[in-house]
Amino acid sequence: AQSVTQLDSHVSVSEGTPVLLRCNYSSSYSPSLFWYVQHPNKGLQLLLKYTSAATLVKGINGFEAEFKKSETSFHLTKPSAHMSDAAEYFCVVSDTDTGTASKLTFGTGTRLQVTL
């Protein structure tokens, strides 16, 4: 069975300071890993994805994440937070399949607060 654990339910940073959102995963197969963002009253948007290519993945809006198999981690980072980054962030895992789509398993989410 696949699962993800988001280690912080709430993170608060000052604008202009680095962001770190932590995620650990568990998967029986070679996983695909994603980070999605959900702004209030808006749909889920993909930030970035890892699918067994480069272990350092760059996404939209300056976010990136590093896949570390030895630590079973996929932490999300950004060098400098912006007020517009305030949202709910979900770490997501999907078991890789050869040809068919696969369901996503979401973490419980981390709410990022950005203060002036």
Q: Which is nearer to another protein, 44 or 77 (CB)?
A: 44
Interface with another protein (CB under 8 A), residue total 26
Q: Which CB sits closer to another protein, 85 or 109?
A: 109
* Single-letter code of the amino acid located at 99: G
- Judged by CB under 8 A, the chain residues 13 through 72 that form the site for another protein are 32, 36, 42-46, 49, 51
Q: How many CB atoms lie within 10 A of CB 102?
A: 14
Q: Burial letters for 60-82: b for 16+ Cβ neighbours within 10 Å, e otherwise?
A: eeebbbebeeeeebbbbebeebe
CA–CA dist 90, 9 (Å, integer): 10
For another protein, the closer CB: 42 or 70: 42
User: Footprint of another protein on this chain (CB under 8 A)?
Assistant: 32, 36, 42-46, 49, 51, 90, 94-109
